[in-house]
Structure 1
């Protein structure tokens, strides 16, 4: 299975520790859209699909009476439960194509990076089933080639990192994840076009900045499933790539 890496507890712990948090700009944009469509009524429930270890689930907690995060990976859900800090957030193992909630019961269906791995038509049909009238579906990801800015060294740092990003991206095209990689590279345009709703928006090129150390950047690289796949396929090559990039 192409996504079996997510079922391994060591990787789930790395993912939880090093994957960048959901940007506040994205959460605010989603909530603004939800409130606009619901007319400001109290928000009862949000469903975070493909929630992983809860990076986009917990930020929703202050805005809804109840938030449910679901993911197909047992290990990701176990880590999410371990680090759950909100009383109104719960987690469950379930697939995106069979949402474990009743019809017409959800104000927001939210999905982040996992959307690229869904069977989109089935997920969309399920989302329509569970959403209330004027409820919202939000899908968001990020471009897989981050740019580094640091004083007058930005160009040199990005040059040093480019080989590593390219190598990790190529793993997607050699391990059956090419469609997922394409979704990220085109900023979910294909997913947007597949969703058959009249009232929808596709927003791209949203600038988001994170302050990170070099070690945190390498931690982020290790939290990418393509890096873990490379480590499992050729540990020596992967460690050499990381070490050479670190030295540069």
Structure 2
């Protein structure tokens, strides 16, 4: 399983720097759901499971008295601690399948871009154990292969990225196939009656060419490729950047392209 890649310090830094920005759309959906289900009860504790470098942990901080980020990767947690400025946020190395929390102690169990790496039956049972009555579970991710748009050259841009995906697909981890099904299997596994699944939440992200190349490097499949073939990975980046610049022409250093993402989330409340 490719999860070992997230223990590499260099990859953790690349992931933090270049992975696509946090989706405010998804964050708002999660927070609106939690607040609606709390019936005005103060939100004291949130736990962000598989928090990585804390990219989705920090947006929770203004809404809870305490937020705990958990991840099995020492290097990801190390980066999270370095960049965290919120006084009510702390981090700990721990697996999703054995949460270091007391029964009925948490208002929100959250997992962003991470749950497909978990052993789901154990994770949802642990989430159910630590949630307070009225507490919520929220997990979300995005479809792996986004669409790209740039003026009248969108087709050319997507052709280039299609060739990149063809190369990287050889290094696809089986668990990531579940991302294509928009977490239906997680929805089915949650032992709570009050639950819902929201799909096809669209978001648009603007990226410069260097940011686009960085995004490719932040994908675990590219890191896996680089482990097997450093020169091949470097060649892929150089060729891809060259083709991007040919498409954008004289505007290559000033214009941004649009990346269209499709997000989805599963939400549940414990009675």
TM-score, normalised to structure 1, is: 0.95
| 1:156 paired to 2:151 | no
Deviation string 1:82-134 (CA, Å, 9 cap, x unpaired) is 00010110000000001011111111000011211100000011000100111
Which residue in the other structure is 1:110 paired with?
110
Which residue in the other structure is 1:196 paired with?
191
Which residue in the other structure is 1:7 paired with?
7
| 1:183 paired to 2:165 | no
Which is worse superposed, 153-162 or 118-127?
A: 153-162
1:96 & 1:231 partners in 2: Cα distance?
28
Once the 2 structures are TM-superposed, how far is the Cα of residue 152 of structure 1 from its aligned partner? 1.3
Higher fraction of strand: 2
Question: Where does structure 1 differ by over 3 angstroms across 4 or more consecutive aligned residues?
Answer: none
Write out aligned runs for 1:45-194 (5 A).
45-172=45-172, 177-178=173-174, 180-194=175-189
Which is worse superposed, 47-56 or 20-29?
A: 20-29
1:208 & 1:41 partners in 2: Cα distance?
31
Once the 2 structures are TM-superposed, how far is the Cα of residue 242 of structure 1 from its aligned partner? 1.8
| 1:246 paired to 2:241 | yes
Return the structure number with greater relative CO, CA threshold 8 A, min gap 6.
Answer: 2
Q: Decide whether the 8 Å contact of 2:2 with 2:224 is kept in 1.
A: no
Q: Which has the larger radius of gyration?
A: 2
2:21 & 2:42 partners in 1: Cα distance?
26
The 3-state SS of whatever aligns with 2:62 is helix
Deviation string 1:125-177 (CA, Å, 9 cap, x unpaired) is 100010011111011001111111221111111111111023223311xxxx2
Q: Decide whether the 8 Å contact of 1:183 with 1:191 is kept in 2.
A: no
Q: Decide whether the 8 Å contact of 1:169 with 1:181 is kept in 2.
A: no
Structure 2 residue runs of 5 or longer lacking an equivalent are: 244-271
2:6 & 2:203 partners in 1: Cα distance?
26
1:11 & 1:202 partners in 2: Cα distance?
31
Q: Decide whether the 8 Å contact of 2:47 with 2:109 is kept in 1.
A: yes
Structure 1 residue runs of 5 or longer lacking an equivalent are: none
CA RMSD of aligned residues (A): 1.1
Which is worse superposed, 148-157 or 24-33?
A: 148-157
1:182 & 1:21 partners in 2: Cα distance?
22
Count of residue pairs the alignment pairs up: 243
TM-score, normalised to structure 2, is: 0.87
1:130 & 1:237 partners in 2: Cα distance?
46
